[in-house]
Amino acid sequence: MRVYFLPANFFLSALISLPALAEEQQTLQQQLDLLKAEMSRLEARIAEQEQQQASAADADTAVPEQRDGVRVGGAVRTNFSHTSYGEGNKDRGGDLQFDIFRLNLHGAIGEVSLDAEIRFFDYMTAVKYAYVGYQFHEDWQVQAGITPVPFGNKPYNSHNYFFSTNYYIGLEDDHDLGLVFKRQLRDNWRLDLGFLKNDELGGVDGYVSDRSDRYSYDVVGYRPPGEGLYDAPSRALGEYNTLAGRFAYHIQHRDGVSTELGLSVLDGGLHDGQNRAGNYNAWAMHVDSQMGRWHAQLQHGEYQYRVDNAEQLAVGAYAFYDTIAADAKTSTFNLAYSVPVTWGPVTGLQFYNNYGLIHDKVDGTANTMMNVTGVSVAAGGLFTYFDLVHARNQPFIGGSIAGDSSDTERRFNINIGYYF
């Protein structure tokens, strides 16, 4: 997904040209401060969280730039965490770690655009996305390569650093190898159609040393009885030939209120390296509404993996294996409020609470719950998340999606990134 920003001096020149009446200048200055704060927040969001839905809905299918050239950007991030589930971490008063160094490529040569992102961690290197785009019709663009899978609230079904519970089952910010056709937003509706040949690492028999060395969560195996929740799967499995569709209708209300109503579906096959082993599908209904400074998101859906005698499957990402139920429902509710400020270099704050639940699991394990309360801070090239997470059976918060704990764990997290 690509987002294009007009240069700041465009807005400044437009404002200067307005009548210089004192009362109007004061109003315009307030609008300018709000605009600058929002621009700073969105630029940081595209670097890590690819910006908020209100701006991304139109920019997602923008016509490629006519000027030849590819711009290089990126980010450097560090992370502090203090947890309830790590005795050593608590005894040390938390841990500060290097997070990532990241490079982004964005631009066009002729009529073909390029977008790519590669992430360097201490423990792995991963390509998040890498695709070319071509506007072959006034209303339609095609993207080919490691592309974003069209599903659910876009660009994210969350505001915080940890995303939502959907991310950890492969239903938020997922990227696979294939083609995606995107209909530009006209007449209040848009349509994204995708054919994903397989996951970003080449599928079940891709030439990689570790199938968990990836950014996006994908199914990589199925669990026989007795296999550990975090073990590398003894029986390989991979997604292939997936069809995905996302339909969204935009309703523009008065006073700048905009609401998107959407439905997403996907259906594909599962392969064990020798034969077709089953199939999978998912659907979701989603609502995304921007109400002035307020932003609300709702999403509810279900996924199913059909493999003989398998109620649990292995997923992989971030050099880490986890286990999910083969069939479950998901529900999320997010609310955020943005505030422009002028505190030295700080130009914008966004307060949020994101709640997610994975329930009605076919394997009979307990629900997965995650609630994140936090604030993000934009200050020039710096963008920082302050998150307080409470969760049960949640990866990276002391649990597994297929865990069966009744304990609520806590994690206080600060992620500091410089985006360029």
C-alpha to C-alpha distance for 281 and 305, rounded to whole angstroms: 7
pTM of the model: 0.84
Whether 1 is covered by a domain: the verdict is: no
C-alpha to C-alpha distance for 418 and 420, rounded to whole angstroms: 7
Judging by beta carbons within 10 Å of its beta carbon (0-12, 13-18, 19+), is residue 401 exposed, middle or buried?
A: buried
Nearest to 220 by CA among 169, 157, 164, 165: 169
Quick one: tokens of 265?
Answer: 């579906």
> What pLDDT was estimated at residue 2?
36
Express each pLDDT in 138-182 by its tens digit.
899 999 999 999 999 999 999 999 999 999 999 999 999 999 999
Whether 276 is covered by a domain: the verdict is: yes
> What pLDDT was estimated at residue 186?
74
> What pLDDT was estimated at residue 252?
87
C-alpha to C-alpha distance for 246 and 252, rounded to whole angstroms: 19
Whether 196 is covered by a domain: the verdict is: yes
Express each pLDDT in 245-302 by its tens digit.
999 999 988 787 999 999 999 999 999 999 999 999 999 999 999 999 999 999 999 9
> What pLDDT was estimated at residue 254?
78
> What pLDDT was estimated at residue 66?
52
Whether 3 is covered by a domain: the verdict is: no
Q: What is the DSSP string of 25-85?
A: HHHHHHHHHHHHHHHHHHHHIIIII---HHHHHHHTTPPPPSS-EEEEEEEEEEEEEEESS
Quick one: tokens of 12?
Answer: 């400044």
- List the domain range (segments joined by +) for residue 56: 8-419
Q: Which amino acid is at 172?
A: E
CA angle (400 as vertex; 399, 403 as ends), nearest 5: 95
Whether 2 is covered by a domain: the verdict is: no
> What pLDDT was estimated at residue 67?
63
CB within 8 A of 48, min separation 6: which ones?
75, 77, 161, 383, 417, 419
C-alpha to C-alpha distance for 110 and 69, rounded to whole angstroms: 9
Task: Extract the residue ranges of the chain whose pLDDT is less than 50.
Answer: 1-44, 46-65
Q: Which residue in the block uniquely carries the two structure tokens 């054919």?
A: 195
> What pLDDT was estimated at residue 27?
42
C-alpha to C-alpha distance for 165 and 157, rounded to whole angstroms: 10
Nearest to 110 by CA among 62, 70, 141, 58: 70
> What pLDDT was estimated at residue 255?
80
How many domains, the chain? 1
Check if the beta carbon of residue 397 is closer than 8 Å to that of residue 389: yes
**CA dihedral sign, ordered 221, 209, 215, 389:** positive
C-alpha to C-alpha distance for 397 and 412, rounded to whole angstroms: 10
Whether 397 is covered by a domain: the verdict is: yes
For residue 152, give the CATH number of its domain: 2.40.160.10
> What pLDDT was estimated at residue 21?
33
Please state, in angstroms and as integers, the Cα–Cα distance from residue 105 to each residue in 119, 134, 400, following that order.
Answer: 12, 16, 34
In the chain, % helix, strand, coil (3-state, to 5) comes to 15, 55, 35
> What pLDDT was estimated at residue 96?
98
Whether 257 is covered by a domain: the verdict is: yes
What is the CB neighbour count within 10 angstroms for residue 137?
Answer: 11
Whether 145 is covered by a domain: the verdict is: yes
